[in-house]
Amino acid sequence: MNKSNYIRLFANCIPVKGAKNVIVCDIQRSTYFEIDMVLHDILVAHSNKTIEEIIEFYGKEYEDEILNQLDQLQKEELVHLTTENHLFPKLDLTWETPSVITNMIIEHGDYFQEKETEIVNDLIELGVQYLELRFYVDVSNETLQNILQTIQKTKIVGIYLVLQNFPYEDIDKFLIENQRVVNILLSNATDAEDERYKDYNKISVVKHKIVNNKNCGIICQNSFQVNLDLFTESQQFNSCLNKKLSIIENGDIKNCPSIPEALGNIKETTLTEIFDSKEEDVNKYWNITKDQIEVCKDCEFRYICTDCRAFRESDNIYSKPLKCNYNPYNGKWEDNLRGSK
């Protein structure tokens, strides 16, 4: 390693420092690496020093250790050497979207048949990109097919289904004909259903019965996503509630189905009317970033996890998500998940 060079993280490898641990988020390869706190300082605080100057700063006795660590980073393709340090600017972390609402959650209810046309028009008008369609009771294939056919008019690129039953015999045919369906969560599944769907990537089964939106809000490592969109959105906005709108079973319109505040009811108004007349209420939570939330602001995972404001540790709007059991001060996941039951 030429010690007269500068060592730089690739622009897509961004370090995030927590109270105890540091991770480097590789937003291009969708993964993260844990690194030592001292190494973080070398890469961030001493980024304007050559390797030689860094060794000089820490002392000759640490030379082998520093070189070894930098070598590891280079092998993992997280850093590169350069003599022209100034030629590598940081990535622009501004997040933008053309949609008024990006994510929509619809709990199927009695209101739907009557208001279907207005809802679909609003999905188009608001530029909704992703839709989660939840059924808390069994659904017939005619009902599901009608809804999916109507949604084809929209610009939605991904549909998530939460079902109590899968009303189709031919799974392959259903998936081919409904390519916008990117995931199906089958609740209350039997062992036979578990076996039947095990080879389908798009279908996940849980034996637990999802009866209402109280089942939401669990934050775990499986829910982490490392990508440019989430990383940049988290810098400025709430990673869960930003640009989200929901209709719950009784027709109430909310930011998220699990939060108590209703903005109106779909039987009396439309989504666009709500957005135009109550914009401040709609985006009450949108600008709460992880950097403002207690405990989360000291967590190294804060830009790759999605927040939850519906289930919080206290009434304080900035308190930690109740269903997160990670402690960033000791770097451990606790066994008991508070509030998950």
Partner 1 sequence: MKTKKLNKKGALKESIEHLENQLPLFFKNPEIKEQSAKIDVSNFLGLDEFPVYNSKRSACRPCYKPISKIHFINE
Residues in contact with partner 1 by CB under 8 A are 103, 105, 129-132, 134, 149, 152-153, 155, 157-158, 160, 162, 176-177, 179-180, 182-183, 185, 204, 206-208, 210, 213, 215-220, 222-223, 225, 227, 229-230, 233, 239-240, 256-257, 306, 308, 323, 337, 340
Strands 203-205 and 181-186, sheet pairing = parallel
Q: Which is nearer to partner 1, 223 or 250 (CB)?
A: 223
What is the smallest separation between the CB atom of 85 and partner 1, expressed in angstroms? Answer: 32
In whole angstroms, the minimum distance from the beta carbon of 159 to partner 1 comes to: 9
Q: How far is the CB of 153 from partner 1 (least distance, A)?
A: 6
Is the CB of 81 or the CB of 175 nearer to partner 1?
Answer: 175
> Which CB atom, from 220 or from 262, has the smaller least distance to partner 1?
220
Q: Is the separation of the CB atoms in 280 and 129 below 8 Å?
A: no
Q: What's the rounded Cα separation, in Å, for the pair 132 and 210?
A: 14
Least distance CB 271 / partner 1 (angstroms): 17
Of 300 and 307, nearer to partner 1 (C-beta) is 307
- CB 245 to partner 1: min, Å: 12
Task: Count CA within 13 A, CB hemisphere, residue 155.
Answer: 14
Find the shortest distance in angstroms from Cβ 297 to partner 1.
19
Given the complex with partner 1, which of 67 and 218 has the nearer CB atom?
218
Q: Which is nearer to partner 1, 87 or 176 (CB)?
A: 176
Comparing CA positions, the residue from 163, 131, 136, 176 lying closest to residue 150 is 131
> Toward partner 1, which CB reaches closer, 93 or 185?
185
- To partner 1, the closest distance from the beta carbon of 13 in angstroms equals 18
